[in-house]
């Protein structure tokens, strides 16, 4: 026998028994985005490498260390997308969306790829739910708060509630420049005490030092006294208003001055949502404003804000009860008590499905006990029984698996309306 080939490290099969939950997550997502008037967009899973280098920043960890490039015999360089924003912005520009609408509210659901060292909650192929709002003159604290509220409400609609929202502002591009020189000034004398990664980040991407997980680096960062001195009054007022609107919308948050985000494109509001139950990889999602990215990539001068949530992390954070509540259960499992009644069996099954009742049955003749076991295993909400006696009397047995209640329902003259009504 040849060697077995395994799934690539850091990737997962989503198995048939897990799919109902994924469908449910996706359907809740679509419903929620619909309420907020967002439209879905799908872009390719690979793009020109240059797109990611120019948008995320050639010095970001995602581009520098994690980009999965495709080998090609031509001179083109493609990479699997590590996130969604760059592709959406590329598509926004390429399709001149600004000429079609003043404000584009877009969402996506799809796989992302990063060459990371796999661990619990950190994969090389994972899935994100994301949103991007792009338009002219839409740099408004009200919109920021609305987008943040949407990300929180999405998580709530899955049944999650133990998460924490942290927010911060990086200020305008000019404020961000001031912030980075202040940081370099404050960290310069502590260079040797920083971890090797952070020593490297000092020149490449000094903001990243602020969210380094290393103990010594954390201590140094906690003792930095920069406050919000880098912010202009305008940026400070903007940020205060974002917080005021969030409070008005009943969204709880915590201010987190060290929250930066490692990508070049963010300015002004940034936010992150984490769930302490997840351990070291605790981020459920994150986002922020990126007003200059579209023009930087050759598009019109428009403002933008977005976020992305990780589906695998959401699934890890969901408890069994919450998963059960989300999953679409099987409404009916048909138990045929007599092999000679298979014809009636498939007819009833077909009628139930035509009446929009999800239904299944045992396809081999087995004992009542083993068929009941099967119904339980599938999580069926009801069991429908047919035996010779029932058929003669023109009825079926119906058992509610939650309450244990049992009754007989008429199917006289092959009329299944009553049964379908009961099962809905
Ligand atoms: P990021 O763009 O890194 O802020 O990612 C947004 C969200 O995607 C994170 O908060 C995670 O929930 C999820 N995510 C990012 N990277 C990974 C990964 N390697 N494996 C699983 N989920 C991830």
How does pLDDT run across 338-385, given as a tens digit for each residue?
989 999 999 999 999 999 899 999 888 789 999 999 999 888 999 999
Pocket test for ligand 1, best of 283, 288, 306 (most atoms within 8 A of CB): 283
- Give the span between the Cα atoms of 262 and 193, in whole angstroms: 21
Q: Whose CA is nearest to atom 18 of ligand 1?
A: 122
Q: How far is the CA of 310 from the centre of ligand 1 (A)?
A: 5
Q: Whose CA is nearest to atom 13 of ligand 1?
A: 310
The span from the first CA to the last CA of the chain, in angstroms, equals 50
CA of 272, closest atom in ligand 1 = 10
Pocket test for ligand 1, best of 8, 85, 128 (most atoms within 8 A of CB): 128
Q: How far is the CA of 291 from the centre of ligand 1 (A)?
A: 22
CA of 283, closest atom in ligand 1 = 10
CA of 118, closest atom in ligand 1 = 19
Q: What is the pLDDT of residue 1?
A: 62
Which residues on neighbouring strands pair with residue 274, listed in sequence order?
164, 283
Give 96-102 contacts, CB < 8 A, sequence gap 24+: 97/134, 98/134, 98/135, 98/136, 98/299, 98/300, 98/302, 101/135, 102/135, 102/136
Pocket test for ligand 1, best of 310, 314, 315, 317 (most atoms within 8 A of CB): 310
Instruction: Name residues contacting ligand 1 (CB within 6 A).
Output: 83, 114, 116, 121-123, 126, 128, 283-286, 308, 310, 312-313
CA of 83, closest atom in ligand 1 = 2
Q: How far is the CA of 285 from the centre of ligand 1 (A)?
A: 7
Q: What is the pLDDT of residue 75?
A: 58
Q: How far is the CA of 286 from the centre of ligand 1 (A)?
A: 8
Both tokens of residue 304? 């933008």
DSSP character at residue 4: P
Angle at 287 between CA 177 and CA 145, to 5 degrees: 100
Q: What is the pLDDT of residue 76?
A: 67
Q: How far is the CA of 23 from the centre of ligand 1 (A)?
A: 20
Q: Whose CA is nearest to atom 8 of ligand 1?
A: 310
CA of 313, closest atom in ligand 1 = 12
Q: How far is the CA of 16 from the centre of ligand 1 (A)?
A: 24
- pTM for the predicted model, two decimal places: 0.83
Strand residue runs (E) in 282-401:
283-289, 303-310, 332-336, 359-361, 382-386, 395-400
- Give the span between the Cα atoms of 288 and 279, in whole angstroms: 24
Q: Whose CA is nearest to atom 17 of ligand 1?
A: 122
DSSP character at residue 254: E
Pocket test for ligand 1, best of 81, 259, 262, 308 (most atoms within 8 A of CB): 308
Q: Whose CA is nearest to atom 4 of ligand 1?
A: 286
Q: How far is the CA of 411 from the centre of ligand 1 (A)?
A: 53
Q: What is the pLDDT of residue 8?
A: 96
Q: How far is the CA of 263 from the centre of ligand 1 (A)?
A: 13
Q: What is the pLDDT of residue 318?
A: 94
No. of helices (H) and no. of strands (E), the chain = 17, 16
- Give the span between the Cα atoms of 42 and 40, in whole angstroms: 7
DSSP-derived 3-state class of residue 176 = helix
Q: Which of 161, 162, 130 is nearest to 147 (CA)?
A: 130
- Give the span between the Cα atoms of 174 and 67, in whole angstroms: 29
Q: What is the pLDDT of residues 309-333, one digit of tens each?
A: 999 999 999 988 788 778 778 999 9
Residue ranges of the chain whose pLDDT lies below 70: 1, 72-76
């Amino acid at each position: 026998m040849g060697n077995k080939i395994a799934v690539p490290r850091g990737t997962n099969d989503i198995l048939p028994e897990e799919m109902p939950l994924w469908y449910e997550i996706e359907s809740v997502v679509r419903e929620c985005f619909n309420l907020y008037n967002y439209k879905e967009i799908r872009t390719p899973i690979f793009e020109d490498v240059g797109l990611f280098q120019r948008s995320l920043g050639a010095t970001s960890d995602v581009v520098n260390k994690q980009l999965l490039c495709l080998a090609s015999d031509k001179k083109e360089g493609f990479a699997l997308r590590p996130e969604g924003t760059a592709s959406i912005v590329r598509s926004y520009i390429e399709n001149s969306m600004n000429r079609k609408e003043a404000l584009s509210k877009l969402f996506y659901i799809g796989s992302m790829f990063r060459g990371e060292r796999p661990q619990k909650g950190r994969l090389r192929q994972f899935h994100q739910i994301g949103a991007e709002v792009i338009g002219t003159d839409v740099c408004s604290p009200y919109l920021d708060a609305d987008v943040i509220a949407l990300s929180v409400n999405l998580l709530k609609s899955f049944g999650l509630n133990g998460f924490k929202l942290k927010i911060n502002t990086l200020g305008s591009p000019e404020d961000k420049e001031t912030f980075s020189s202040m940081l370099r000034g404050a960290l310069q004398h502590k260079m040797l005490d920083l971890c090797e990664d952070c020593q490297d980040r000092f020149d490449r991407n000094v903001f990243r030092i602020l969210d380094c997980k290393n103990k010594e680096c954390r201590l140094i960062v906690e003792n930095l006294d920069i406050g919000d001195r880098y912010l202009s009054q305008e940026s400070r007022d903007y940020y205060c208003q974002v917080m005021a609107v969030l409070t008005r919308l009943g969204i709880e948050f915590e201010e987190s001055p060290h929250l930066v985000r490692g990508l070049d494109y963010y300015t002004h509001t940034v936010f992150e949502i984490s769930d302490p139950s997840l351990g070291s990889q605790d981020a459920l999602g994150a986002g922020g404003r990126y007003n200059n990215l579209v023009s930087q990539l050759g598009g019109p001068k428009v403002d933008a804000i977005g976020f992305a949530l990780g589906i695998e992390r959401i699934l890890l954070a969901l408890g069994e009860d919450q998963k059960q509540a989300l999953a679409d259960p099987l409404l009916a499992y048909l138990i045929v008590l007599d092999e000679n009644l298979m014809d009636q069996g498939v007819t009833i099954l077909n009628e139930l499905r035509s009446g929009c009742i999800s239904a299944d049955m045992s396809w081999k003749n087995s004992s009542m006990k083993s068929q009941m076991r099967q119904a339980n295993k599938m999580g069926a909400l009801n069991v429908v029984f047919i035996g010779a006696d029932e058929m003669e009397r023109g009825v079926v047995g119906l058992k509610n698996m939650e309450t244990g209640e049992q009754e007989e329902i008429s199917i006289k003259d092959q009329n299944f309306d009553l049964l379908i009504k009961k099962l809905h």
